[in-house]
Protein backbone atom coordinates (compact mmCIF):
# COMPACT_ATOMS: atom_id res chain seq x y z
CA UNK A 1 0.00 0.00 0.00
CA UNK A 2 1.32 3.48 -0.78
CA UNK A 3 1.33 6.57 1.41
CA UNK A 4 -1.59 8.23 -0.38
CA UNK A 5 -3.79 5.15 0.12
CA UNK A 6 -2.86 5.01 3.80
CA UNK A 7 -3.40 8.79 4.13
CA UNK A 8 -6.90 8.35 2.69
CA UNK A 9 -7.63 5.61 5.22
CA UNK A 10 -6.39 7.75 8.10
CA UNK A 11 -8.58 10.66 6.93
CA UNK A 12 -11.61 8.33 6.78
CA UNK A 13 -10.92 6.99 10.27
CA UNK A 14 -10.52 10.52 11.64
CA UNK A 15 -13.87 11.52 10.15
CA UNK A 16 -15.56 8.39 11.54
CA UNK A 17 -14.07 8.83 15.01
CA UNK A 18 -15.16 12.47 14.93
CA UNK A 19 -18.71 11.57 13.98
CA UNK A 20 -18.87 8.88 16.68
CA UNK A 21 -17.75 11.48 19.24
CA UNK A 22 -20.30 14.04 17.96
CA UNK A 23 -17.54 16.36 16.81
CA UNK A 24 -18.17 18.85 14.03
CA UNK A 25 -16.66 17.99 10.64
CA UNK A 26 -13.31 19.72 10.36
CA UNK A 27 -12.94 19.84 14.15
CA UNK A 28 -9.93 17.54 14.06
CA UNK A 29 -6.80 18.50 12.12
CA UNK A 30 -4.47 15.83 10.86
CA UNK A 31 -0.82 16.74 11.34
CA UNK A 32 1.01 14.35 9.00
CA UNK A 33 4.34 13.57 10.66
CA UNK A 34 6.92 13.29 7.88
CA UNK A 35 10.11 13.01 9.96
CA UNK A 36 12.80 10.77 8.39
CA UNK A 37 10.91 10.78 5.06
CA UNK A 38 12.23 12.71 2.07
CA UNK A 39 10.59 15.00 -0.47
CA UNK A 40 9.76 12.10 -2.81
CA UNK A 41 7.70 10.40 -0.12
CA UNK A 42 6.04 13.61 1.08
CA UNK A 43 5.09 15.24 -2.23
CA UNK A 44 2.38 12.71 -3.28
CA UNK A 45 0.63 13.27 0.07
CA UNK A 46 0.72 17.04 -0.52
CA UNK A 47 -0.66 16.51 -4.02
CA UNK A 48 -3.45 14.37 -2.55
CA UNK A 49 -4.51 17.38 -0.47
CA UNK A 50 -2.71 17.21 2.90
CA UNK A 51 -1.62 20.69 4.01
CA UNK A 52 -0.48 20.33 7.65
CA UNK A 53 2.76 18.51 8.46
CA UNK A 54 4.89 17.84 11.52
CA UNK A 55 8.65 17.49 11.86
CA UNK A 56 10.61 16.86 15.04
CA UNK A 57 14.02 18.26 14.04
CA UNK A 58 14.75 21.82 12.99
CA UNK A 59 17.75 20.88 10.84
CA UNK A 60 15.87 18.19 8.95
CA UNK A 61 12.90 20.46 8.30
CA UNK A 62 15.17 23.23 7.00
CA UNK A 63 16.68 20.80 4.52
CA UNK A 64 13.36 19.48 3.17
CA UNK A 65 10.59 22.05 3.39
CA UNK A 66 11.75 25.14 1.49
CA UNK A 67 11.81 23.08 -1.73
CA UNK A 68 8.40 21.53 -1.00
CA UNK A 69 6.88 24.94 -0.25
CA UNK A 70 8.26 26.23 -3.53
CA UNK A 71 6.57 23.44 -5.47
CA UNK A 72 3.15 24.29 -4.06
CA UNK A 73 1.27 27.49 -4.96
CA UNK A 74 -0.74 27.29 -1.70
CA UNK A 75 0.40 27.74 1.89
CA UNK A 76 1.45 24.72 3.92
CA UNK A 77 1.42 24.62 7.70
CA UNK A 78 4.51 23.10 9.28
CA UNK A 79 4.48 22.16 12.98
CA UNK A 80 7.55 21.64 15.15
CA UNK A 81 6.68 18.67 17.36
CA UNK A 82 10.12 17.79 18.75
CA UNK A 83 12.30 19.26 21.49
CA UNK A 84 13.85 22.63 20.68
CA UNK A 85 17.29 23.92 21.76
CA UNK A 86 17.34 27.65 22.44
CA UNK A 87 20.25 28.14 20.02
CA UNK A 88 17.95 26.84 17.24
CA UNK A 89 15.11 29.25 18.01
CA UNK A 90 16.01 31.51 15.10
CA UNK A 91 15.87 28.69 12.55
CA UNK A 92 12.75 27.24 14.15
CA UNK A 93 10.83 30.52 13.90
CA UNK A 94 11.92 30.97 10.28
CA UNK A 95 11.06 27.40 9.24
CA UNK A 96 7.89 26.48 11.15
CA UNK A 97 4.36 27.93 11.36
CA UNK A 98 3.37 26.41 14.71
CA UNK A 99 5.61 25.41 17.66
CA UNK A 100 4.02 22.49 19.53
CA UNK A 101 6.86 21.80 21.95
CA UNK A 102 7.25 24.79 24.26
CA UNK A 103 8.47 22.93 27.34
CA UNK A 104 10.49 25.36 29.48
CA UNK A 105 10.95 29.00 30.30
CA UNK A 106 14.23 29.36 28.43
CA UNK A 107 12.60 28.21 25.19
CA UNK A 108 9.63 30.51 25.71
CA UNK A 109 12.02 33.46 26.13
CA UNK A 110 14.15 32.52 23.11
CA UNK A 111 11.09 32.03 20.88
CA UNK A 112 9.58 35.29 21.98
CA UNK A 113 12.77 37.21 21.13
CA UNK A 114 13.05 35.60 17.71
CA UNK A 115 9.39 36.12 16.85
CA UNK A 116 9.75 39.81 17.63
CA UNK A 117 12.91 40.02 15.52
CA UNK A 118 11.41 38.20 12.56
CA UNK A 119 7.94 39.74 12.92
CA UNK A 120 6.44 36.24 12.93
CA UNK A 121 4.01 35.71 15.80
CA UNK A 122 3.56 31.93 15.62
CA UNK A 123 0.90 30.01 17.55
CA UNK A 124 2.54 27.93 20.29
CA UNK A 125 1.41 24.89 22.26
CA UNK A 126 2.79 23.99 25.66
CA UNK A 127 4.02 20.40 25.93
CA UNK A 128 2.71 18.65 29.03
CA UNK A 129 4.50 15.70 30.63
CA UNK A 130 1.25 13.95 31.58
CA UNK A 131 3.09 10.80 32.68
CA UNK A 132 5.58 12.70 34.87
CA UNK A 133 8.36 10.80 33.10
CA UNK A 134 11.82 11.97 34.16
CA UNK A 135 13.32 11.36 30.71
CA UNK A 136 10.55 13.18 28.84
CA UNK A 137 10.36 16.91 28.31
CA UNK A 138 7.26 18.88 29.15
CA UNK A 139 5.65 20.84 31.94
CA UNK A 140 4.25 18.93 34.92
CA UNK A 141 0.44 18.94 34.96
CA UNK A 142 0.24 20.97 38.19
CA UNK A 143 2.52 23.67 36.74
CA UNK A 144 0.73 24.07 33.41
CA UNK A 145 -1.58 26.89 34.32
CA UNK A 146 1.19 29.06 35.85
CA UNK A 147 3.53 28.30 32.94
CA UNK A 148 0.93 29.15 30.28
CA UNK A 149 0.25 32.40 32.08
CA UNK A 150 3.96 33.30 32.16
CA UNK A 151 4.33 32.46 28.46
CA UNK A 152 1.49 34.84 27.68
CA UNK A 153 2.16 37.70 30.06
CA UNK A 154 5.95 37.68 30.57
CA UNK A 155 6.97 36.48 27.10
CA UNK A 156 4.00 37.61 25.03
CA UNK A 157 3.68 34.25 23.29
CA UNK A 158 0.49 33.38 21.47
CA UNK A 159 -0.24 30.14 23.36
CA UNK A 160 -3.23 28.46 21.73
CA UNK A 161 -3.03 24.90 23.01
CA UNK A 162 -1.47 21.98 24.84
CA UNK A 163 0.35 18.92 23.52
CA UNK A 164 1.23 15.58 25.10
CA UNK A 165 3.01 12.31 24.33
CA UNK A 166 1.74 9.66 26.78
CA UNK A 167 4.14 7.03 28.14
CA UNK A 168 4.42 4.20 25.58
CA UNK A 169 3.58 1.37 27.93
CA UNK A 170 0.45 2.95 29.40
CA UNK A 171 -3.17 3.19 28.33
CA UNK A 172 -3.22 6.63 26.68
CA UNK A 173 -6.88 7.43 27.42
CA UNK A 174 -6.15 8.68 30.94
CA UNK A 175 -3.42 10.99 29.62
CA UNK A 176 -5.69 12.38 26.90
CA UNK A 177 -8.36 13.02 29.51
CA UNK A 178 -5.87 14.88 31.68
CA UNK A 179 -4.73 17.05 28.76
CA UNK A 180 -8.35 17.82 27.93
CA UNK A 181 -9.02 18.91 31.52
CA UNK A 182 -5.88 21.08 31.65
CA UNK A 183 -6.82 22.75 28.36
CA UNK A 184 -10.28 23.51 29.75
CA UNK A 185 -8.81 24.92 32.95
CA UNK A 186 -6.40 27.18 31.08
CA UNK A 187 -8.99 28.22 28.49
CA UNK A 188 -6.99 26.84 25.54
CA UNK A 189 -8.78 25.52 22.47
CA UNK A 190 -6.14 23.27 20.92
CA UNK A 191 -5.41 19.76 22.23
CA UNK A 192 -2.65 18.06 20.21
CA UNK A 193 -2.75 14.41 21.20
CA UNK A 194 -2.85 10.98 19.57
CA UNK A 195 -0.39 9.31 17.20
CA UNK A 196 -0.60 6.35 14.76
CA UNK A 197 -1.54 3.82 17.44
CA UNK A 198 -4.11 5.84 19.35
CA UNK A 199 -5.45 8.78 17.36
CA UNK A 200 -9.01 7.45 17.35
CA UNK A 201 -8.96 7.21 21.16
CA UNK A 202 -7.54 10.74 21.29
CA UNK A 203 -10.38 12.06 19.11
CA UNK A 204 -12.92 10.44 21.44
CA UNK A 205 -11.16 12.21 24.34
CA UNK A 206 -11.27 15.62 22.66
CA UNK A 207 -8.20 15.97 20.41
CA UNK A 208 -8.30 18.89 17.98
CA UNK A 209 -4.98 17.85 16.38
CA UNK A 210 -3.67 14.32 15.89
CA UNK A 211 -0.03 13.75 14.90
CA UNK A 212 0.14 10.70 12.67
CA UNK A 213 3.36 9.50 11.05
CA UNK A 214 3.94 5.79 10.45
CA UNK A 215 0.26 5.02 9.72
CA UNK A 216 0.65 7.27 6.66
CA UNK A 217 4.29 7.08 5.58
CA UNK A 218 5.11 3.57 6.81
CA UNK A 219 7.50 2.30 9.48
CA UNK A 220 10.55 4.49 10.03
CA UNK A 221 13.12 1.79 10.66
CA UNK A 222 15.06 3.82 13.22
C1 LIG B 1 7.11 10.79 15.58
C2 LIG B 1 6.12 11.54 16.36
C3 LIG B 1 4.73 11.37 16.12
C4 LIG B 1 4.18 10.38 15.12
O5 LIG B 1 4.39 9.06 15.55
P6 LIG B 1 3.72 7.81 14.79
O7 LIG B 1 3.62 6.78 15.85
O8 LIG B 1 4.65 7.46 13.69
O9 LIG B 1 2.41 8.25 14.29
C10 LIG B 1 3.85 12.14 16.86
N11 LIG B 1 4.29 13.04 17.78
C12 LIG B 1 5.59 13.24 18.01
C13 LIG B 1 6.00 14.24 19.04
C14 LIG B 1 6.55 12.50 17.33
O15 LIG B 1 7.85 12.70 17.59
- The model's pLDDT over 46-89, given as tens digits with 9 standing for 90+, comes to 999 999 999 999 999 999 999 999 999 899 999 999 999 999 99
For ligand 1, atom 5: residue with the closest CA:
213
DSSP bridge pairs for 31: 211
Q: Give the whole-angstrom CA distance, residue 65 versus residue 63.
A: 6
**Which atom, in ligand 1's list, is nearest to the CA of 220?**
8
DSSP bridge pairs for 124: 99, 159
Average pLDDT rounded to a whole number, residues 121-125:
98
**Ligand 1 centroid to residue 16 C-alpha, Å:** 21
Please give the pLDDT value at position 221: 73
Please give the pLDDT value at position 4: 97
Q: What is the share, in percent, of the chain residues with pLDDT greater than 70?
A: 100
Residues 144-170 have pLDDT tens digits of: 999 999 999 999 999 999 999 999 999
For ligand 1, atom 4: residue with the closest CA:
213
**Which atom, in ligand 1's list, is nearest to the CA of 195?**
9
Chain centroid, CA 183 distance in Å: 15
Q: What are phi and psi of 139, to 5 degrees?
A: -90, 140
Q: Is the pLDDT reported for residue 23 higher than 80?
A: yes
Average pLDDT rounded to a whole number, residues 88-110:
98
Of the candidates 131, 91, 127, 130, the residue with the CA atom closest to the CA atom of residue 111: 91
For ligand 1, atom 11: residue with the closest CA:
211
In 3-state terms, what secondary structure has residue 78?
strand
Of the candidates 127, 61, 51, 50, the residue with the CA atom closest to the CA atom of residue 94: 61
pLDDT confidence band for 220 (50 / 70 / 90): confident
Residues 35-58 have pLDDT tens digits of: 999 999 999 999 999 999 999 999
Cα distances (Å, whole numbers) of residue 142 to 3, 89, 139: 40, 26, 8
pLDDT confidence band for 222 (50 / 70 / 90): low
**Ligand 1 centroid to residue 13 C-alpha, Å:** 17
Residues with Cβ within 8 Å of residue 7, at least 6 apart in sequence: 32, 45, 48, 50, 216
pTM here is 0.97
Q: Is the pLDDT reported for residue 25 higher than 70?
A: yes
Instruction: Give the binding-site residues of ligand 1, using a 6 Å CB cut-off.
Output: 33, 35, 56, 81-82, 165, 195-196, 211-215
Considering the chain, what is the average pLDDT of its residues? 96
Amino acid sequence: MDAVTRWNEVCTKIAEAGRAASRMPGDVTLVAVSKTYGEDAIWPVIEAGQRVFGENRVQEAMAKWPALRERLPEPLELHLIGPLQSNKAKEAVATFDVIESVDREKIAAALSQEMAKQQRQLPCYVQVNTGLETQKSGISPHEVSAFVERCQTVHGLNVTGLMCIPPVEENPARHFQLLMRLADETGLEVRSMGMSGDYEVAIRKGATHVRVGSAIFGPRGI
